[in-house]
Structure 1
Amino acid sequence: DVTEHLGVSASAPAAAPPPPALVAGENGRSFEERIRMTRRRRTIAQRLVEAQHTAAMLTTFNEIDMSAVMELRKRRQDGFVKRHDIKLGFSSFFVKAVVGALKAFPLLNAEIQGDEVVVKHYYDIGMAVGAEEGLVVPVIRHADRKSFAAIEKDVRDLAARARDGSLSLEDLRGGTFTITNGGVFGSLMSTPILNPPQVGILGLHAIQERPIAHNGEVAIRPMMYVALSYDHRIVDGREAVQFLVRVRELVEDPESLLLEG
């Protein structure tokens, strides 16, 4: 995971940076502000650059029609909240879809160790969270065994603890694949950086209504661009594209995900 790979403890708050140094400009009208990077920020910067220099990173894109999953959420939301005391979000659908796609394309749930490829037959899914001191990736353990409600509760709990700095190293250890959602900040499309030593990361983006061809007609649909960055050293383009297509198929058929999990 990002924080474990960086060698930074998530449970201990970083020391407060010194006050920024101000450099006065001509006639005092303009100035520059120098802010010392925290230790965590420096390490994150260094490791993310290293990740790009180590992996043969490539990104493939697709788009998902979110109509069915949005309709299902609306229809089932009240009953879900009454039963589980938590809202049914999009996170659980994407976690379930990723697990299903990883089972079909297991090399995306692997890592390189020396001259060997280690394929992992368990599914610990990292969920990237932007915290005050930088990106952290807490892990949903054994996501394939968990219900939609359990996944939603894990996402809520891990995100809250990421933001208040109470995550432990155990919360960050051992992820096999990562999901990151720039859509919550308004991003329409991006190329996510791999979370070493993982070889795949799925980027989600904002949902926008767009005209598309549907059953021979032009229809306005809520669409989301998705991006898969992968390590081309062990994952071929065909597998990567098929993986992302499988994620799309599963999310566009959310009833099948509910039946499976």
Structure 2
Amino acid sequence: MALHAWKRPSDPSVYGFLDVDATRALAWIEETRARTGVHVTITHLVGKAAAMALAARPDVNAIVRRGRGIWARDRIDVFFQIARDGGEDLLGALVKDADEKDPVAIATELDHLAKRVRAHRDPSLDVTSRLMERLPDALIGPAMRAAETLGYDLGLDLRRVGIPFDAFGSVMVTNVGTFGLTSALAPLVPFARTPLVITVGAIQDTPVAIDGRVEVRPVIELGVTLDHRILDGFQAGQLATRFREVIEDPSRALSA
């Protein structure tokens, strides 16, 4: 029955969870808010940590082109998903060169972008939405695949028709904790060519073993989906190590 129930595997997704002690991260966020007046959150810190991890392994900051070749990105952009219309619509905004910006700059820029998205005043999203609304349902899938092929595989500039190049960047970050979820896994988006997706769960008080004794610590669970055509377990482990260093001790990692 199993032999006849599924087709041959064609999905390169690898899934995993990463539990991180958020004690120092929360203290750093509180201190940073008081010092700067900017509403920095754990999501901004996760985006920065992901960008720093990719900077440590630039070979995985890449796009699969034409199903065969690997094309390296020349910058590290982080796509933050944004809920609009009370959560009914999920869109997003791209923070470019996130590895070169601190979490305060990321938070400030993303706040500006999110306000435009939620107010329906983002030009590129508006153009794309109008295009999709005009297409019959049967043509939406072929149109998305055509735009993907023209933009990524052939490298054509589609901005004249409202489709920016590489609009989803190097990594996607989405906070599912705002919906009351402590953990989740998100799929790779085929037309985005983004090899890494991170979901941020709600922070929970959790028993943790510290130096042989049990303590209750705030722990955040991150769901990670990666493209196995670009990353393998060794590279994923190195990304996770660098990522954990930033989240578990942001003061030290960011100052360095």
* Shorter-normalised TM range: 0.7 to 0.9
Equivalent residue for 2:99, pick from 140, 144, 148: 144
Q: Tell me what 2:58 maps to.
A: 106
Q: Evaluate the alpha carbon distance shift between residue 113 and residue 234 of structure 1 in structure 2; reply closer, same or farther with a 3 A threshold.
A: same
Q: Tell me what 2:69 maps to.
A: 116
Cα offset for 1:176? Answer: 1.9
Q: Evaluate the alpha carbon distance shift between residue 237 and residue 255 of structure 1 in structure 2; reply closer, same or farther with a 3 A threshold.
A: same
1:1-261 matched pairs, under 5 angstroms: 55-81=11-37, 86-114=38-66, 115-132=68-85, 134-169=89-124, 173=167, 175-195=169-189, 196-260=192-256
Cα offset for 1:107? Answer: 4.0
Q: Evaluate the alpha carbon distance shift between residue 161 and residue 55 of structure 1 in structure 2; reply closer, same or farther with a 3 A threshold.
A: farther
Cα offset for 1:95? Answer: 2.0
Q: Which amino acid aligns with 2:211?
A: N
Give the secondary-structure state (helix, strand or coil) at the position aligned to 2:201. strand
Cα offset for 1:242? Answer: 2.9
Give the whole-Å Cα distance in 2 for the aligned partners of 1:181 and 1:208: 14
Q: Give me the identity figure in percent.
A: 26
Q: Deviations over 1:58-92 (max 9, x none)?
A: 211110100001112223432211xxxx2232233
Give the whole-Å Cα distance in 2 for the aligned partners of 1:174 and 1:227: 18
Q: Tell me what 1:50 maps to.
A: none
Rg (Cα) greater in structure: 1
Q: Which amino acid aligns with 2:30?
A: K
Q: Tell me what 1:8 maps to.
A: none
Give the secondary-structure state (helix, strand or coil) at the position aligned to 1:201. strand
Cα offset for 1:171? Answer: 10
Q: Deviations over 1:107-140 (max 9, x none)?
A: 4421100221012131111001122363212100
How many residue pairs end up in the alignment? Answer: 204
Q: Deviations over 1:220-254 (max 9, x none)?
A: 00001112101112211222233223212211011
Structure 2: any 5+ residue segments left out of the alignment? 1-8, 125-163
Contact kept in structure 1, 2:202 and 2:220, CA below 8 Å:
yes
Give the secondary-structure state (helix, strand or coil) at the position aligned to 1:93. helix
Contact kept in structure 2, 1:213 and 1:219, CA below 8 Å:
yes
Give the whole-Å Cα distance in 2 for the aligned partners of 1:136 and 1:183: 16
Moved more, 60-69 or 192-201: 192-201
Cα offset for 1:173? Answer: 2.2
Cα offset for 1:97? Answer: 0.9
Give the whole-Å Cα distance in 2 for the aligned partners of 1:59 and 1:107: 20
